[in-house]
Amino acid sequence: MKRKNIFIVGCLLFILLISSISLAAPTEYKTITTVPPSYAGQPGGLTDEGEFFLNNLSKNLINPAQLLDILNDKSAKKPLIIDVRANSDYINDHIPGAVWVAHAADMGSQEIGQKIRRLLNEHVASGGENEIVVYCYTGHSAGLVAGVLGERGFNIKNLRFGFNGWVGSQGSPAVIMGPIEKFPGDRDPVGVYGVVSPFGQPIVPMINMAPRLDTLEGKTIAVVGHSFMANVTHTEIKNIILEKYPTATVYLQNEIGSAGKYPAPGTASESVKAFQSKLREMNVDAVITGNGG
């Protein structure tokens, strides 16, 4: 009986043990999946800041428009902006205030890291934000740089889409100076497209504008064109000129003609030539033309 009791107790303990294992397993699994392994403080491991950086990768991007807003906000502390493209491209054109320390491929060295630390300290001492914004051409290489420097404890953000995105976001008339090529191995991330212009360069060169007049007094003015009630407006313009500038001379369309539509480059227009000859022949100083509508 005693043996039998021992056996029953043993069986119960076994069942309890199995039950405890099967109940404990999911709890352990959850723990493992929700808490990343910590290497902070271990030999060769991450700093606390580096671990924080890696856990917040998606938050370490800055959009070009956001950066533009910060730079335009006079009251905002500015980040230290580091250009990691080729030095020649940095010299050609860069984001206002950006500094160049090294090419992206060299940014991982201890020496460069120390240099950046000094730059950042100086930047903060002169009133700047304790933050770095790094950019390359498209955002790929700078993302790696941000990873390396972020792991070392820098408060660093990667400029989304790099310098191309910066130029595009401004919509400025500035000529873009970035290169075509990417770094070896760089690929557009899935769902991101590098795109080209849909039109070519104009072939008509720009001329120097004719100098403006100091006054209309004493000048010869042609008032030409025949569209949209010019028969009324142009006569009135002649009246105004002669009222305000009695020594001026005015020629109207019926006296001097007009050029008509300017011809395509490389083609001639007899009406343009004739009009220009008339302007010269009659010593015209200024032309008023219309009406467009």
Q: Lay out the site mask for another protein across 155-174 (x = CB under 8 A, - = otherwise).
A: ------xx-xx-xx--xxxx
Stretch that binds another protein, among 42-50, 85-93, 120-128, 208-216 (CB under 8 A): 208-216
Tokens 């100098």, located at residue? 211
Angle at 106 between CA 105 and CA 107, to 5 degrees: 100
Closest approach of Cβ 68 to another protein, in Å? Answer: 14
Q: Which of 154, 183, 19 is nearest to 86 (CA)?
A: 183
Q: Tokens at residue 51, please?
A: 């671990």
Using the minimum distance from each CB to another protein, give the nearer residue, 125 or 209.
209
Q: How many residues of this chain interact with another protein, rule: CB under 8 A?
A: 78
Residues 174-203 that bind another protein (CB under 8 A): 174-176, 178, 180, 188, 191-203
Q: Which of 1, 35, 204, 268 binds another protein (CB under 8 A)?
A: 204
End-to-end CA distance of the chain: 115
Q: Tokens at residue 267, please?
A: 């083609």
293 sits near another protein (criterion: CB under 8 A)? yes
Buried b (16+ CB within 10 A) or exposed e, 66-78: ebeebbeeeeeeb
Q: What Rg value do the Cα atoms of the chain yield, rounded?
A: 37
Closest approach of Cβ 15 to another protein, in Å? Answer: 57
Closest approach of Cβ 228 to another protein, in Å? Answer: 4
CB distance 93 to 145 below 8 Å = no
Using the minimum distance from each CB to another protein, give the nearer residue, 60 or 289.
289
Residues 243-282 that bind another protein (CB under 8 A): 258-262, 264-265, 272, 275-276, 279-280
Q: Lay out the site mask for another protein across 217-236 (x = CB under 8 A, - = otherwise).
A: -----x-xxxxxxxxxx--x
Closest approach of Cβ 248 to another protein, in Å? Answer: 12
Residues 5-64 that bind another protein (CB under 8 A): none
Per DSSP bridges, beta strands 156-159 and 80-83 are: unpaired
Using the minimum distance from each CB to another protein, give the nearer residue, 113 or 178.
178
Stretch that binds another protein, among 47-55, 75-83, 144-152, 214-222 (CB under 8 A): 214-222
CB distance 100 to 137 below 8 Å = no
| Positions of E strands within 26-166 | 61-62, 80-83, 99-100, 132-135, 156-159
